[in-house]
A = this chain, B = another copy of it.
Amino acid sequence: MTYCVGLKLNEGLVLLSDTRTNAGLDNISTYRKMFFFEQPGERVIAIMTAGSLSLTQTTIARLQEAIELPEADEETSIMRASTMLQVATIIGRTLNRTRREIVDQCRDLNQQASASMIVGGQRAGGEMRLFLIYPEGNFIEATEDTPFLQIGEHKYGKPILDRVVTPQTSLADAQKAVLLSMDSTLRSNLSVGMPLDLAVIRKDDCRVSHKRRILEGDPAFMAMSAAWSAALRDSFVKVTI
C-alpha cells in the first residue's frame, strides 16, 4: 500500500508521500510516488500516486511522453493545458485508459489493477488547485470545507488532520500536520514505509518552493516522532474520564 496526503491552504500546497511498494509481503521495494512537472514561475504540477505500480508508472510515463511529442497541445500535454482543471482531465483520461488496458491484459488471471492520484498545482495567472483522481478518471477537488485529500492507507492518519488542518493553517504547521499524520500511519501499518517525500508549493510561486526527502533515521523526523509520542502520553495521563 501507500499513504499520500495533500493539503490545499491559503498559503499554498503541502504534499507528503511514502515510498514503500510491495508485491506480497516478501517483495518490498522503494519507489518514488511524488512527481513534478515544472516550468518555474509559469507552471507547476505535482502528482502523487497510490495503487498498482505498473499502472502508475505507465501513466506517468505516458504523461511525460505526451508532453514531449512534437504535436503536443493543450488537449494532450499537461504542460500546455490552459487550466488546472484541464490538467486533471488529461491525467484522469490517461489513468483510465492505462487501467483499462492492464485490466484487459489481466482478465484471464482474474486480477485487478487500480490506482488513484493526487494532483496539485498552479499556472501563472490561474488558481492553485488540488484534485484527487479516481481509477476511473473522474475526480474531486479540495475545498475550504475539506482542505485535505488522501490516497492509500488514509484512515490511521485522518484523525490528526481532522483536528488541526484548516485553510488558515500555516505552511510550517501544515508540514508538521502531514508528518504527524504519516507518523501514525507508519507506526500502525507495515505497508507504508520510509523514506518520505515532502514538498511545499507556495501560492503564486508556480514552482516547487521546497522539497525534501526524509530518510529512515532522519534526526529531525525521529525527534518530532518521539516528542509527539511523549506529548500524547502526557496528554493521555492528564485527560480524565
Chain A residues at the B interface, C-beta cutoff of 8 Å: 153, 155-156, 158-160, 162-164, 173, 175-177, 179-180, 184, 187-189, 220-221, 224, 227-229, 231-236, 238-241
Find chain B residues with CB under 8 A from A234 CB: 231, 235
Collect the chain B residues with CB atoms within 8 Å of residue A236's CB. 160, 163-164, 173, 176-177, 180
Give the oligomeric copy count: 2
Give the interface SS of chain A, mostly helix, strand, loop or mixed: helix
Q: Which residues of B contact A232 (CB under 8 A)?
A: 160, 163-164, 232, 235
Q: A155-B188, A155-B189 are in contact. List 15 more A-B contacts (CB 8 A).
A: A156-B156, A158-B188, A159-B184, A162-B187, A163-B233, A164-B236, A176-B241, A220-B241, A221-B241, A224-B241, A227-B238, A228-B239, A231-B238, A234-B235, A235-B235
A218–B186 Cα distance when bound, in Å, is: 33
Residues of B within 8 A of A233 (CB): 163-164
Residue of chain B at shortest CB distance from A226: B239
Judge whether A228 and B224 touch: CB under 8 Å: no
Assuming the contacts A162-B187, A162-B188, A163-B229, asked whether A239 and B180 have C-beta atoms less than 8 A apart, the reply is yes
Neighbouring B residues of A241 by C-beta, 8 Å: 175-176, 179, 220-221, 224
Cβ distance A222 to chain B, nearest Cβ, rounded Å: 11
